[in-house]
Amino acid sequence: MRYLVIVNPRWLILDRDGVINRDSDDYIKSPEEWVAIPGSLQAIARLHRGGWRIAVATNQSGLGRGLFDLETLKAIHGKMIRAVEAAGGRIDAIAYCPHRPDEHCRCRKPQPGLPLGLSDRYGFSLGNTFFVGDSRRDLQAAWAAGAHALLVRTGNGAMTEQQMGDDWPPTPVFDDLSKVADYLLKREHP
């Protein structure tokens, strides 16, 4: 007799700008402006090979501000997906919020709409999910959704780390996404 064992996949949610690619105060408005942070693509590939499913949850108010259109955002994400695949990885899902901060939507981080939507759509538990970000609003979205928040020092992360206070839930801090991958992969295979 043979059995098929179905294992619930492990999900990792990543912020985009400042975690996977370099951030810009002027927004990432074209595929040419999207530049991967050194080591991030390889980290995603290692996690993918280690059995993790990767989702991206990103605020993209540049859409609502009219700085770029949906086709341009699709082209930016297409470049990111191809770059991850060229490194041997995979991005399984992308969720984005197109709203400006003044629209007070439920999907814009720090609100938990993006991780909650990913969880609902793909059927995974946020209680078993890690959410990697570089800003307080990323961490707040993770905490509000019930996910485990991880902070990276890339992007705005070093500044965010300096703002951490005793009123913040305990949050592990890593130099970059590569160090997050080391940590998550080591947890499973000590």
Query: Which residues, listed in sequence order, are joined to residue 58 by a DSSP beta bridge?
Result: 96
Of 15, 134, 138, 176, which one is the catalytic site residue? Answer: 15
Structure token pair of residue 80? 């990111």
Phi, psi of 134, deg, nearest 5? -120, 5
Query: Using CA atoms, how far apart are residues 107 and 99, in angstroms rounded to an integer?
Result: 8
Q: Which residues of 169-183 are buried (b: 16+ CB within 10 A; e: fewer)?
A: eebeebebbbbbbee
Of 17, 23, 134, 176, which one is the catalytic site residue? Answer: 17
Angle at which helices 40-49 and 70-86 cross, to 10°: 70
Is 175 a known active-site residue?
A: no
Three-state DSSP at 171 gives coil
Query: Using CA atoms, how far apart are residues 151 and 140, in angstroms rounded to an integer?
Result: 11
Structure token pair of residue 117? 């939507």
Is 17 a known active-site residue?
A: yes
Q: Which residues does the annotation mark as catalytic?
A: 15, 17
